[in-house]
Amino acid sequence: MKQIKCDCGHVNPLGTVLCESCGKPIEENQHIDGNEGKKLLNMRYDGTARRSKTYTKSVVDRIWSFFSSVKVGVWLIVLALIASMIGTIFPQEMYIPANTPNRDPAVFYESQYGVLGLIYYQLGLHNLYSSWWYLLLIALIGVSLVICSLDRFVPLFRALRHQNPKKHQSFLSRQRLYSETESATDEELETVKKQLKKRRYNIKEKDGYLLAEKGRFSRWGPYVNHIGLIIILIAAILRSTPLFFMNEYVWVREGETEVLPGTNGEYYVENKDFIFETHDENDERFKDALSKEGMVASNYQTDVVVYKANRSIPGEEPELEPVVEDSIQMNKPLSFDGYDLIQSGYQLNEFSSMTFKIHETSDADEKSLGSFTVDLRNPQPEFDLGNGFKVVLDQFYPDYYLDDNGIPASETNFPRNPAFVFSVYSEDSEKPEVSFVGIGRNIDGTGENKYKLGIEDFEMHDVSGLTFKYDRSLPFFGIGAVIFMIGVIQGMYWQHRRIWIHKRKDGSLVMAAHTNKNWFGLKKDIETVTENTNIKMVEDQQELGEKDN
């Protein structure tokens, strides 16, 4: 490996921009940091040799250089940003409103948004965030993060760990903040040193050269936060495996017990009661708002018992043993044995059962000739009333409506608006009489029925929709987020400030300073430490104009 020997005797690795020891610019390498012909040095990564800038021949080198470029990183970020925005133009498939007439995406987008919607759908943008190319984009950001961090971290770490306070004059004079003082006394230098220490600078000295440094750890901020991001990306990968993440949904009627899906029948949940509450309309505080908005819900709650199933023989009816009994509210999920149950939906006032009576059509008093009860969850096909009457359930529409062609149909499978077609068999006629009965409807099949059916009684229940899940990736996301936050705070709220001072034999003094951000703060520091001395305040050698070009 070819190496570069500096005038000071230090041997630098190939690709070094500023001598690792004395900081003297290695002239033939200034182009690497885009610094040819510039007055000021590029202090990024202290001019250390980076793999990406040094080796650019082989395929591996090229890939490495590509991903370690901040420009590429920014492009990837910007692409992810634009893609994310596009995903919000129209609702994603999962957010197609529940009350839309046709929720089939093939129909929905075109019917709602016309041609643009159709294009959106056909490009697959209705599932953008799980599309292969979006995930690829995120993955590329991850790769870029890892490579760029390694590319810079290792050399920067070396450079900052072994800093030599003794710097070459051309290193000093080409810093952004620089001053030369004709003559300074030793006392003045001591004052400055004392002041620097007071401001918690670390001071290193060698051969009349002085380096005051503070906040170096903030330089590791970006690397720390990138590690946090990588952990988050890894957590996202873990979450896509069933070992780490499961998400199911159950509807449980009041009074019923359902098996919890995804547990191989190990757990059951009973809905003891679903509670729906609204804000009190007479509440003084909210009166104005409530009169405008109408009723506002205040609580969704399911009182549940979770059971664990004991089966002595596989396949046998299990014996249920209560594990927890608790109430689940929105924002108050129930956790047990690593699982969570979350209040996610509800359906009020479904019919559980309906009781009908038979009476003679002509009987004004509607005296009952017998009655039967239909269990709407599991309707029997036939009811023998015992006194010669038999009723057959021909049709059952749990959620009755008339479709576009005027034909009775059921909108959902939930018994919200049940309607029935019954055939009534009686002793006085061979042919059954057909009746259509629903809420507020009672239609005679022929108009000549002798017997009529009436709703005598009904029972209602609420249904609670519970999300049932585990997410074992959460701790990883949490750790990643914490590390990310530590990293950004470390990098953003502290700055790495360095001040180099050299008092020459002839009594003159040079001072140069550098920081990775917050130059204002650094200048303030220097102002304070040189107060009451004749040491000249540093001058800012960089005008914005230069940066702008």
Partner 1 sequence: MDLLSISSTALYTAFILYLIATFFFGATIKDKQTDNKKKGFSGKIAITLTIIGFLAQLVYFITRWISSGHAPVSNMFEFLTFLGMALVLGFIILYAYYKLSFLGLFALPIAMIIIAYASMFPTEISPLVPSLQSHWLYIHVTTVALGQGILGISFVVGLMYLIKEVDQTVRSKETTWLEIVMYILFVFIGFIVITTSFNFMNYNATFEYGQGSSAATTDYHLPAIAAPNGGTLVTEDVMKPWFETPAWFQGEDAGRKFNTLIWSVITGTVIYLITRLILRKRVGATIQPLLKNMKADLLDEIEYRSVAIGFPVFTLGGLIFASIWAEIAWGRFWGWDPKEVWALVTWLFFAAYLHLRLSRGWHGKKSAWLALVGFGIIMFNLIVVNLVLAGLHSYA
| Residues in contact with partner 1 by the rule CB under 8 A | 34, 42, 44, 70-71, 73-74, 77-78, 80-81, 84-85, 87-88, 91-92, 94-95, 112-113, 129, 247, 279, 283, 285-286, 288-290, 292-293, 296-300, 329-331, 333, 340, 342, 344, 467, 469, 471, 474, 477, 481, 484-485, 488-489, 492-493, 517-520, 524, 540, 543-544, 547-549
Between 132-161 and 70-86, two packed helices, what is the crossing angle to 10 degrees? 150
Using only C-alpha atoms, what is the Rg of the chain?
39
Is 90 within 8 Å of 120 (Cβ atoms)?
yes
What does 152 bind: partner 1, ligand HEM, none (CB cut-off 5 to 8 Å by kind)? ligand HEM
- Type of residue at 327: S
What six digits make up the tokens of 335?
A: 């956790």
Is 358 within 8 Å of 450 (Cβ atoms)?
no
What does 112 bind: partner 1, ligand HEM, none (CB cut-off 5 to 8 Å by kind)? partner 1
Residue 166: closest CA among 22, 11, 17:
22
Q: Which window, 34-42, 69-77, 108-116, 329-337, contacts ligand HEM (CB under 6 A)?
A: 69-77
Q: In 3-state terms, what secondary structure has residue 310?
A: strand
Is 453 within 8 Å of 356 (Cβ atoms)?
yes
* Beta carbon nearer to ligand HEM, 226 or 502: 226
* Beta carbon nearer to partner 1, 149 or 435: 149
Does the protein bind ligand HEM through residue 145 (CB under 6 A)? yes
Q: How many CB atoms lie within 10 A of CB 59?
A: 7
Does the protein bind ligand HEM through residue 11 (CB under 6 A)? no
Q: What are phi and psi of 371, to 5 degrees?
A: -140, 160
For ligand HEM, which residue of 55, 61, 73, 434 counts as binding (CB under 6 A)? 73
- Type of residue at 46: D
What does 290 bind: partner 1, ligand HEM, none (CB cut-off 5 to 8 Å by kind)? partner 1
* Beta carbon nearer to partner 1, 376 or 483: 483
Does the protein bind ligand HEM through residue 495 (CB under 6 A)? no
Please tell me the distance from the alpha carbon of residue 318 to that of residue 310, in angstroms, as a whole number: 5
CB of 92 to partner 1, least distance (A): 6
CB of 514 to ligand HEM, least distance (A): 13
Does the protein bind ligand HEM through residue 485 (CB under 6 A)? no
Is 515 within 8 Å of 521 (Cβ atoms)?
yes
Q: Which residues contact 12 (CB under 8 A, 6 or more apart)?
A: 3, 4, 5, 6, 19, 20, 26, 49
Please tell me the distance from the alpha carbon of residue 377 to that of residue 413, in angstroms, as a whole number: 10
Counting beta carbons within 10 angstroms of the beta carbon of residue 522, is it exposed (0 to 12), middle (13 to 18) or buried (19 or more)? Answer: buried
CB of 55 to ligand HEM, least distance (A): 17
Does the protein bind ligand HEM through residue 233 (CB under 6 A)? no
Q: Which window, 219-227, 252-260, 299-307, 539-547, contacts ligand HEM (CB under 6 A)?
A: 219-227
Does the protein bind ligand HEM through residue 497 (CB under 6 A)? no
Question: What ranges in 397-500 are assigned the alpha helix state H?
Answer: 474-493
* Beta carbon nearer to partner 1, 7 or 284: 284
* Beta carbon nearer to partner 1, 273 or 360: 273
Does the protein bind ligand HEM through residue 124 (CB under 6 A)? no
Q: Which residues make beta-bridge pairs with 501?
A: 210, 511
Is 476 within 8 Å of 238 (Cβ atoms)?
yes
CB of 279 to partner 1, least distance (A): 4
CB of 127 to ligand HEM, least distance (A): 22
Q: How many CB atoms lie within 10 A of CB 17?
A: 25
What is each CA distance from 387 to 4, 384, 437, in whole angstroms? Answer: 111, 8, 22
Q: Which residues make beta-bridge pairs with 12?
A: 4
Please tell me the distance from the alpha carbon of residue 352 to that of residue 490, in angstroms, as a whole number: 60
CB of 16 to ligand HEM, least distance (A): 17
Does the protein bind ligand HEM through residue 491 (CB under 6 A)? yes
Does the protein bind ligand HEM through residue 70 (CB under 6 A)? yes
* Beta carbon nearer to partner 1, 106 or 296: 296
CB of 6 to ligand HEM, least distance (A): 24
For ligand HEM, which residue of 144, 163, 417, 426 counts as binding (CB under 6 A)? 144
Residues lying near ligand HEM in the complex (CB under 6 A) are found at: 70, 73, 76-77, 141, 144-145, 148, 152, 222, 225-226, 229, 488, 491
